[in-house]
Amino acid sequence: MRTTALFTFFVLLFELTSSENEAPLGKVVQPPKPNILKQGCPSDLLHSRALRSIQLACRSHPSTVISAFEGIQEGLAHCANRLRFQQWDCSEAGNIMHDPPLLRSGGCLFNGAQAARDPFQEVLFRYSSIPLGFRESSLIWALSSASAAWGVATACAQGWIDDCACNNHLGQNEYEFGGCTHGVQHGITASRKLLTKVGAVSSLLRKVEKHNLKAGRLAVKKTLISSCKCHGVSGSCQQKTCWKRTATLEHITDYLVEKYARAKLYTDDSVVKTTDLIYLEASPDVCNTKSVAGRVCAWRNETHTQGDCDRLCCGNGFSIRHEVVRVKCDCEFVWCCNLVCKDCIQHRWISTCNGTPPKSLIF
């Protein structure tokens, strides 16, 4: 997986530039454009087979594609962290721009020719041929769409994409006065153009795909945050500039994960809201489709515990290891500008699933 450090950087900078505290002289200093946005699309995107729109946009608007891709990577990382103690944890979903098996009709994770020769691989092949339409697919579609919009909007907010440079009708750069709303809409539009397949929606599967992609874009709109800056003598609010900005990607991910938990089974006569996530068929039993050996199923310390090994390990049992780590504790500010902390010892108990194969894979 490509590093997501760039977009961690995006979030920090975006929060700084969105602060209501004005910089000296009322101006906000724009960060320099990252090198990754100057280098053009890498070959895997430039020759992407998943979406023709990605290939075309890489030649005309490479910064937009890269910003969207990195946003999706960051969204998947947040998803994996949020679902880390669920049976399906988003960690192997794959980027939508790479046409991952989870979103591929008839896609598989294993080689069919090898499956024909090996009974063990045959079972793996059968259970990993994942058609479109599962509940998990709905989340990946929506999250990818939202994360792509967030990535582009965040790059726009930093002034890194020329197509959405933030200028007002007077020709003055709006960064001097506050934020800029139309970068958000640019991100949403870019997400739609990059990820929505062209052509008429001729099947129920395509209809579900298009619906969930739109639900992801709407999630960005539903979670927008209003920000304002005051302009006047000695900070008075005689004049005020307000704008909309995207929420953190972590917040958007949490919003969509909650929608995923309430996703609705869709039929021809179903009535659903545009913000709902929808799917076509029940998901396969995770315990019958993949090995959970080595997976962290729970952890605890002296005060907190998370996870459920009985459920996540599919009844195969688990092992517990004890860790002792040093952490900073009892921190306090010392005038003027120092944070002084003590070094404390913390005990952790990490539980991992044992290595028994799934029941359906035992011959």
Q: Same domain for 263 and 302?
A: no
Q: How confident is the model at residue 110 (pLDDT cuts 50, 70, 90)?
A: very low
Q: Is the pLDDT of residue 358 over 80?
A: no
- When divided into structural domains, the chain yields a total of 2
Q: Same domain for 239 and 307?
A: no
Mean pLDDT value of segment 58-64 = 93
Q: Same domain for 226 and 320?
A: no
Task: Note the pLDDT tens digit of each residue in 85-109.
Answer: 998 888 888 888 887 777 765 443 3
State the DSSP string of 104-168.
STTB-SS-HHHHHH-HHHHHHHHHH-B-S--HHHHHHHHHHHHHHHHHHHHHHHTT--GGG--B-
Q: What is the pLDDT of residue 176?
A: 42
Q: What is the pLDDT of residue 74?
A: 95
* % of the chain surpassing 90 pLDDT: 44
Q: Same domain for 118 and 248?
A: yes
Beta-bridge partners for 351? 298, 320
Q: Same domain for 274 and 257?
A: yes
Task: Note the pLDDT tens digit of each residue in 112-151.
Answer: 333 343 433 333 333 333 346 899 999 999 999 999 999 9
Q: Same domain for 86 and 234?
A: yes
CB 75 within 8 A of CB 3: no
Q: Same domain for 91 and 204?
A: yes
Q: What is the pLDDT of residue 90?
A: 87
Q: What is the pLDDT of residue 115?
A: 38
Mean pLDDT value of segment 22-42 = 70
Q: Which domain holds residue 12?
A: 5-279
> What is the average pLDDT score of the chain?
79
Q: What is the pLDDT of residue 73?
A: 94
Q: Same domain for 222 and 300?
A: no
Q: Which position has the higher pLDDT, 185 or 113?
A: 185
Q: Same domain for 196 and 328?
A: no
Spatial distance between the Cα atoms of 169 and 241, rounded to a whole number of angstroms: 15
Q: Of the ranges 8-12, 51-55, 72-76, 151-155, which one carries the lowest mean pLDDT score?
A: 8-12
Q: Same domain for 138 and 199?
A: yes
Q: Is the pLDDT of residue 175 over 70?
A: no
Task: Note the pLDDT tens digit of each residue in 303-327.
Answer: 899 999 998 998 889 999 999 999 9
CATH of the domain at 293: 3.30.2460.20
Domain's final residue, options 279, 297, 330: 279
Spatial distance between the Cα atoms of 117 and 98, rounded to a whole number of angstroms: 28
Domain's final residue, options 258, 279, 300: 279
Mean pLDDT value of segment 55-73 = 93
Q: What is the pLDDT of residue 6?
A: 52
Q: Same domain for 173 and 294?
A: no
Q: Order of strands across the sheet with 305-307?
A: 305-307, 296-300, 338-353, 318-334
Q: Same domain for 320 and 233?
A: no
Q: Which H helix or E strand runs over 333?
A: strand 318-334
- Two structure tokens written together for 272: 């659903």
Task: Note the pLDDT tens digit of each residue in 230-248.
Answer: 877 766 777 888 888 899 9
Domain's final residue, options 233, 260, 279: 279
